[in-house]
């Protein structure tokens, strides 16, 4: 699978799944414009030949800057991978207003911002993949802001698929427990944070936690020509978690 000369914006690219996706696309020939807040990790991406644009995607202008960088650097925009995420852990009545608003801004509003600025520039046949979560389908202890923001994404994806097809394909990938810094942070909401990941892995039909590359492989497929009749769908990649 080659993405030679394709220009792809990837958000959340300095960590976890976003980083792995950005690197895999670059390895396969894509012209990657990566967004993230960590400028040190962003510099590491630049050293690999990936264009890095620092910024917080919950700010509209940060999303606009990504699109402008893609257009001024490469003169085209072929795809988006929206992978940035935030947890917002806390029992609902104890959750601060700031945490609630920041989580929804990162996980939902930022999706709107990037789509708003990017859609007018996406070439005919453009693709969008959004990284959601099984939290849209399954509740977890003390994750109200996270589950609410992720639960909105399947509906938004269907709406965009209807309004912009066939020129643009858009799909959602919803992982379960993937070994990333975000997952490590999420264990704080459980009564047994020291053992929950080991216990979860043992309970899954696949008997292991996910790896970023498990999600990257699905993203690459959805961005490729083999998926040319797929849009408006939600692909759960969970090691069988929802079967338990």
156-162 long-range Cβ contacts below 8 angstroms, 24+ apart: 156/108, 156/111, 156/112, 157/130, 157/232, 157/233, 157/234, 158/232, 160/115, 160/128, 160/232, 161/231, 161/232, 162/232
Q: Cα separation of 177 and 212, whole Å?
A: 10
Exactly one of 74, 113, 117, 146 is catalytic; name it: 146
The answer to whether 114 and 168 are in contact (CB under 8 A) is no
Using only C-alpha atoms, the chain has a radius of gyration, in whole angstroms, of: 17
Report the SS3 class of residue 105.
helix
Residue 221 a catalytic site member: no
The answer to whether 127 and 148 are in contact (CB under 8 A) is no
**Do the strands 7-11 and 77-82 form a parallel or antiparallel pair, or are they unpaired?**
parallel
Which residues have a catalytic role annotated? 146
């Amino acid at each position: 699978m080659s993405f030679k000369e394709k220009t792809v914006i990837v958000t959340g690219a300095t960590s976890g799944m976003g980083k792995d996706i950005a690197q895999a696309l670059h390895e396969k020939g894509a012209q990657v414009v990566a967004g993230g807040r960590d400028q040190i990790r962003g510099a590491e991406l630049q050293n690999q030949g990936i264009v890095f644009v620092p910024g917080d995607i919950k700010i509209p202008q940060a999303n606009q800057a990504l699109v402008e960088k893609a257009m001024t650097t490469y003169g085209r925009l072929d795809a988006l991978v929206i992978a940035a995420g935030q947890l917002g852990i806390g029992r609902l009545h104890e959750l601060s207003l700031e945490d609630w608003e920041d989580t929804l801004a990162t996980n939902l509003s930022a999706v709107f911002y990037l789509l708003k600025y990017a859609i007018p520039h996406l070439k005919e046949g453009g693709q969008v993949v959004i990284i959601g979560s099984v939290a849209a389908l399954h509740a977890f202890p003390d994750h109200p802001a996270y589950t609410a923001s992720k639960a909105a994404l399947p509906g938004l994806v269907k709406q965009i698929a209807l309004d912009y097809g066939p020129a643009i394909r858009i799909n959602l990938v919803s992982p379960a427990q993937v070994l990333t810094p975000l997952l490590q942070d999420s264990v704080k909401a459980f009564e047994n944070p020291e053992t929950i990941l080991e216990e979860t892995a043992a309970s899954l039909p696949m008997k292991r936690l996910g790896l970023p590359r498990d999600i990257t492989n699905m993203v690459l497929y959805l961005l490729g020509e083999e998926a040319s009749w797929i849009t408006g769908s939600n692909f759960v990649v969970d090691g069988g978690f929802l079967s338990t």
